Amino acid sequence: MWTRLKIPLTVLLLVVIVGTVGFWLLEDNVKTLLDSFFFTLVTVTTIGYGNITPQTVAGKVLTIGVIIVGVGAALVSMQTVFESLVGKRIKEELGMAEREVHKTGHYLVCGYSMVGKAIVRNLREKKADFVVVEKDKENVRRMVEDNLTVIEGDAREEEVLERAGIKEAGCLFVTMDDSYNVFVTLTAKLLNPSLYVVAKTENSRNIAKLKKAGADDVVACHDAGARMMIDKAKL
């Protein structure tokens, strides 16, 4: 923030100095440097009390310059401060780089897919303690609005899983596509060998691969859904 503020604040300071000295030298009705400084600040802030007004052509030209340059520099400075403060707050809320979860025995849900959303919904109903790891910014924003604990990042990266508390977690749900799930499972097991991992697969032929990667249980969602539908039909 201070790097971005350096130029507009420098310009603003120069405008105040030039205005203060200039009005004091050009205007007979400005008796002291304090009066000149006061008039410069009033001009820059567009307050305009009207108790001091430029009488000479040179003074009026200087006033125009102070207004155009000074007000512009002041606006840029305020906008920079506002954007930095708001940006910092959003960054903290969305769980960006510096965020780290401090939990024990919690559930980790990697991926806010359709399956991930269903798992989260059930965990919320059971009032279970959980953390979601998601890399899609729009999904992260929605989860923040829903008051969900979320870490933004790619779950295949060790640093992201560590920020989500992988070493203290009790169970991991991996809900993305099969290649992604294999990589996340391998990474998670390296960081926490005792972690119980439940992985989703889109193809039952990949169950063995996920098991070799370290998954303790693998659910073929399409097959499981089909079995449930058949059971509902009482076949």
pTM of the model: 0.59
* Beta carbons of 168 and 187 less than 8 angstroms apart: no
- Grouping H, G, I as helix, E, B as strand and the rest as coil, residue 131 is strand
Structure tokens at 103: 């939990």
| pLDDT at position 39 | 86
Amino acid (one-letter) located at 229? M
DSSP letter at 147?
A: T
Q: Give the tens place of pLDDT for each residue, 74-114.
A: 888 788 777 766 555 555 555 443 477 889 999 999 999 89
Whole-number average pLDDT of the chain:
86
Please tell me the predicted confidence (pLDDT) of residue 10. Answer: 87
Determine the pLDDT at residue 121: 94
CA 123 vs. chain centroid, Å, equals 25
CA Rg, the chain, in Å?
31
Give pLDDT < 70 ranges for the chain: 1-4, 49, 84-98, 234-235
What is the sign of the dihedral through the CA atoms of 151, 153, 154 and 157? negative
Encode pLDDT of 8-28 as tens digits: 888 888 888 998 998 889 988
Token representation of residue 146? 């829903």
What domains can be seen in the chain, in order of their start residue? 2-93 (1.10.287.70), 107-232 (3.40.50.720)
